[in-house]
Structures are given as structure tokens and as C-alpha cells.
Structure 1
Amino acid sequence: MSNPYGEALGSSLIDRSIRERIVLVGVTFPGSDDADTDASLDELAALIDTAGADEVGRIVQRRDFPDHTWFIGKGKVDELKELCLAVDADTVVFDNELAPAQQYNLEKLLGRTAIDRTAVILDIFGQNAYTLEGKAQVELALLRYRLPRLRRGATARMSQQRGGLASRFGGGETKLEVDRRRIMRRIAKLESELKELARTRDLQRKQRDRSGLATVTIVGYTNAGKSSLLNALTDAGVLSENRLFATLDPTTRRLSLPGGEPVLLTDTVGFVRRLPHGLVEAFKSTLEVATDADYLIHVVDASVADPQGQIDAVREVLTEINADRVPELLVFNKADLAPLEAKQLVADHPGSVAVSAVTGDGLDDLLRVLPDRLRSLTAVVELLVPYDRGDVLAAIHREGEVVSTTDEAAGLRVRARLSGPSAGRLKDFDVARAQGSGDE
């Protein structure tokens, strides 16, 4: 069976020769103010730009709750239609998530495609997915999003004929039931493929666990500089661009800390406010690198207007994937662009560090603090290693941090910090265990 959307996933959704003209719509609900709405719309404009389109106008409305039919009020919809005609807009993008019926009603009245923030983020992910797993994850999220939006009628034909940003999110197909069955079969196939890929990833993770190396995962808001930091610390050569969601696929590199102990450092996909739940679900196996990490490096862009808002957004996603229990080290990046702001942020968040992944400033502080944090997670064990077991001594040095050594008649007494898996593998040489069994 052919994939009805596979072709689109393999290439950009946007015709780069003709940038679409977009009108943005934001709504201020109780609990937020106009400044919050404007900041969110500014971020949506950046997302639109990343997707390859241009903002040509925006409309904002205050409401106590969304209108069931239009999301915004009917009068505001008429005003929106007039604005679209005045600026010759191709598409309307709402900062809030639209119900399928609301999207349909808006398209019918406006005479042009209406999509929401979720659709824009899915579109960007579709452009940036390169690996087999990344493409499957994005396609699964896209199909789950599109399935309830399949409809008959003129809007569907208009959406299919129109190219660009909204081409994947239009009203639907003419052969509705056939397309619905095809999409459901495709979803089932993708879920099966991703389960198999997750099993492979789980085996790789168990192999890393057997190595005894601590795992550190870099998380943070999109475009905070996570890939730049990984490159600065490990010469990883990961794509690093000043654009949103430049990295979708995790990259792991070995990092030797100043004390000599090695750790595995992994870069991850960036987060964003109101990251679509479907994407979080689809990327769950990829995001498990954060859930299973020993420590998180939470990178924050010190130069943005609302760093605390970005911190909160990242922690919200971490909570959703059950990674909020993993201890984190806050790292305020881009200190070269905002030195005063970075200094204040460090003061407001005791234990954090300020760095510039571009200039290298502050990296020494990071590499001094991180080992101390990791050591706090490991236990000091005392081992008695026979002199003819050089392989065991090498494993202790490779997998942990040797605190002290003492020569004894029976062998070398070693006090070392070891992770749980490493200590378990070396239990036959653990002095405390041996004494305990002897007492029995």
C-alpha cells in the first residue's frame, strides 16, 4: 500500500520560491494578559518564518472562553476576513488549537485555509526529519492530527489545490471513507515500526548501561544552543543553526571530564510552549534519553525576553515524559549576547552556570560543576582487587572515579565512586559484601 503522505514527508512542504502570506490570530483568555499574547504571537511568527512563510498581519481578541463555532467571535471573524482581503493573505494561523469543526467553519467563511499553531509545528518537524525513526515519528503525529479533520466538500478541494504551509492540514479528501481507512492502516503500521525501533533503542541503552558510564542528556527550549554546546564540549560536528527545531534526532558523544572520568552526552530535540501532545507521544522513544539519564543539562537562552517562561515550558514537557525526577543543572547559554542578564539569571538560580557555547566562556565552570553533581549521585565503595586482576582495576578506572588505593597482602584496596550497575558487576570484590557474608 502506498503512503498518501510519504512523498510530502520526504521533501519540504514549502515552495521556497513563493513565501506564503500569513495572518496571525491570538486570543487573550483569563489568567493571561495582552503582553503574554503578544509574546506568544511573536514566537508563532518565528515559527512561521522557520516554516518558510511571512506574517503580513495579526488580530487579537479578549475572550472569557472560545466561541464554539469560530473560536473567536463572529464580528471578529468578519474583521479577520476584511484584513485577509486587504493584505492578500493566503492562510490564517491561530495561536491556539482549533477543533476540526472550528477549522472547517473558518475556512468556509474566510474562503482560505485556516490552521493552528500545532499544524505549523508539525509542518516544521516534517521539514527537518531525516532519519528513518524521525520521519516515522513525524508522519505518525501528522496523520493523527489529520484524521479527525478529513471532510468532504469544496474546502477539501481548495486545500488540495493550494500548495505551501497548509497543504497537509486542509479540509479532507473526496473519497472520505477510503482515505480514512488508508490513514488508520498507515497509523497502525507506523506504530508497529516505531515499537520495533524502540526495542532496538532499548537494547542499545542496555549496552550503554553495561558500560557503567554516566549518561547526561542536554534538554532545553528550541534554539537555546543545545547542539552548539554539544559541539563545543565534544567536537561532535552536529548541525547547529540559528533556527527553530534544527535538531530532531538525538546524538550521543563520549565526553571525558576534567578528572578523567568519561560520560555519555546526548543532544535532544528542542521543546517549545504548547508542544503538540501528538508530537510528544510520537517522539516518546526518542525523548526517553532524558527520562533514563543520570543528569540533565537544561540549556536556557539568556538573551531571550522571557527565560523563565522557557524554563517552565521545558519542565512541563519533562513532567509529561516522567523526566522531572531526573536532577538538572541549569546552564544559561549565549552569555556573550546578554552578559548582564546571564549574571542576574545565575544569581536568581543558585547552582546554575552561565556559558557561551560560541566563545567558550564559562565552559570550564560547567566542566567543574558537572562532575561534582554526578559524584553526588554515586556511592563510594571499597574493593579488594587481587594483584593478578589488572582487568578489574582497569574497569574501575574506566567506569568510575578512584578515590584512594592501599597496598595490602591480599591485593589492592581501592575506594572508588561507582554507579549502581558498575558496583553490581564488581560485587565479588566489594569488601563490605564479603564481610557481610562472612558474618553470616
Structure 2
Amino acid sequence: MGIIENIQLAINSLFSNKMRSILTMLGIIIGIGSVIAIVTVGDSLASSITSEMSGVGARNINIGLEQKNMGEINEDGTYNESEDGIYNPYEIQEKDYITDEMLKDYKAIFKDDIRAISVVEDVGTNKLANGKNKAEISIKGINSEYSSVEKINMLQGRFINGGDVESSRNVAVVSDKFVNKYFGESLTYEEALGKSFEITLEDNVVRIYICGVYEYVKNDGEISFSNNGEESTTVYIPISSAKKLLKKQPGYMTATILPSTEADLDSLLFNTRQYFESVYNRNPDVTVMAYSMESMMKSVNKMIGNVKLAISGVAAISLLVGGIGVMNIMMVSITERTKEIGIRKALGAKGKIILFQFIVEAVIICLIGGIIGIITGVGLGAAVTNILGKVVKPNIQAMFYAVTFSMAIGVFFGYYPASKAAKMNPIDALRYE
């Protein structure tokens, strides 16, 4: 008997006992469906996280000041107190700041691996009024390389340049949304160049002149609303002007490094840490930490992978239950078809033919259950992923492994019943009622 005839015989047997066949497949369907759903949701989340982080500069290296000696942490998350019962952590001071000289030397040493370094100083928010027109703004002081790191799309005019920073000019780059709100859509973006507006800082009124207009793009997860619910956008001014307005000394708490396309990120990250550790080696209180979103992405994806593996392992237990169900139903089927087996053996069918027949039947049961499980799992995974607002990303490799595994279950759990049928004595089988 050929493979085609065995498959047809197995399918006929399944259809002759529909309810029993469905109940037999149920464990396989639940197990495969659960694993596929978990993998689909996990892969979709990982892909979404990777995409979102890539959009905000996954390869960028962020550096920032941190305290060296935070003390020992207690079990409740608090720090050990000093002898007087009070713990006073060191406050980072302006003398500890990252300086332009440090960044200049760092960039010179690793010039082949670095494209740009941006620094930012948050100035604050302002509510502006121009007659009936109102606009909410968040003011940031930046350097000329900020646009390379953050990829600002200019619509008109120019971005902050080195001359603006050196001369502490009162110029600003504003968004297209700001122009529309503040000027009431009465001016084009080109006509807005050279226009001015006033901001209030530390009780001082400063007039700022527009030198450029950029395209406002709201990033995923960005909160850009003020206390009264009005949407605000960012106004960029030279960082030297920001320091001057805030009466702060030169220097930075943080900086963002844009690596070159050819740079080895892991190597540059290591070298960055080494460089700043050497610079701050003599500072007893402060050091510089360095990290990249890409390294964080790897950690997040690894964590998601471990969670997927753990939950899939639990879900896969139902596959074991399903396999036992297959073995049980095959034993029942063989008992019911004992006389049929006896007749076939009396007509000359060899034991290996009988063995193959029932193994094929077990594989067909598991294969159909596996396919239904995959469809169920993908559907359930897609539903959960859509609820979470993420893009569905089915895992084709997982589906292939699921089908292969379900067939392997059929062979493993179907072998013993099939072997029992193959070893039947034809005379005893023919006498069976």
C-alpha cells in the first residue's frame, strides 16, 4: 500500500469519527496555537520597539554625568545613612560639567568614528501672544551640530550655526506650527524669516529673531502639551545664548554623539567610556556614563526572547497532553479495527506495512491539528497585537517548526500503538469480536 492510499485511509478514519478526532486534536491545537500567539506578540513588540528606538537614533551614544559613590543600597531601595542619620548625596556642580575642550579633544582622537556631537540646554517654556494669536513654546539651547544628530528638516532659512553660538546671537529656529499659530497663518514661512517675538526669562524680556523654520514632526510617545492643554513646539536658540539668559557657566551635563556609518558602535562605546573615565579619574565625586539605545535594544530584545521562551515552554506542556491523547485514541482505534488488521495480515500484509499505516494516521491527526493551531495562534496573536497598537509580524520560522514538531509528535506517540498493531497475530485478530 502506497503513501497516498495510507493518507486517504487515515483521512477516512478521521471523518468516520469526527468528534473523537476533534477532541484528539484539541491538545495539539491549544499547544501550537498558544506558542504561535506568544511568538507573534513577542516578535511584534520587539519589532515595534526596535523601529521606535531606531527612529530616535539607536546608534547614537549618550553621555552624562553621574555621582561616583552613591553608597550601599539597602533592601528597601534606600541608601545607607551617615553617622548623623542623614544621607546627603553629592550634588553635581558646574565645575564638574563636561566642557567644550573635553568634547573637542574627544572628537579629535576619534575623528574617523564621529560625525557630530550635540549638546542641549533646556531653557523653559513660554506663552506668547501676538494680538489674538497665541502660541506655546518650549525653548532649547543647542549647538550647530544638533540638526545632524536629531535630523531636523528645514523648510525655510537656516539652522543655528557656529557663528550664532560664538556670538551668542538672539536668533531662533521655529517650527512651521509655531509660525501658523503665532502669525495666524498670515505669513508664509519665507516671510516669517527676520520677524521677531519676545520671551520672558528670569523676569527679563528678550527679543528673538527668526532665522529658520523647520518641519514639526511629533514623535511617538512625545508629550507636547502645556498645563492648559495647548500643544507646544520647540524653539531652538544658540546654546551660548541660553547659558547667558539663564546666567549659567559653560559646560554640559549631557551630550549626544553621532557615530559615523563605518564606526564599530561597541568599540566606540567602549573607547568613549575609557576616555571620559580617564578625564574624570581625578574627580572624587563625579564620572561620566555612556550608553547607546542599540545596546539597550539588545537587552530588551533578549528579555522579550527569554519571556517568550519561558511562556512558550509552559504552553508547550499542552502538546505533551495532546500527544498522550493521540496515543490513547490510536490505541482505541487499533482495538476497534483488530479484525481489519487480522484480515489484512491474512491476505499477506507485512508488519511494517501495518506499522506505517497507523503512524501515517497519527501524523495526519497531528498535522491537521498543527495547521489549525497555527491559524488560531496567528489570529489570536494578531488580535492582541492590534489591541496594543503594534504592527503584526508573524514568525514564518516558528510556523515551520510548529508543523514539523506536530508531525514529530505524531510519529513519537503513534509508534507504540502502530507497533502493537504490526505485531498482532493474524489468527488471534481474526477471532477478535
TM-score > 0.5 by shorter chain: no
Larger RCO (CA within 8 A; separation ≥ 6) = 2
Larger Rg: 2
Give the TM-score, by structure 2 length.
Answer: 0.20
More helix by share: 2
TM-score w.r.t. the length of structure 1 is: 0.20
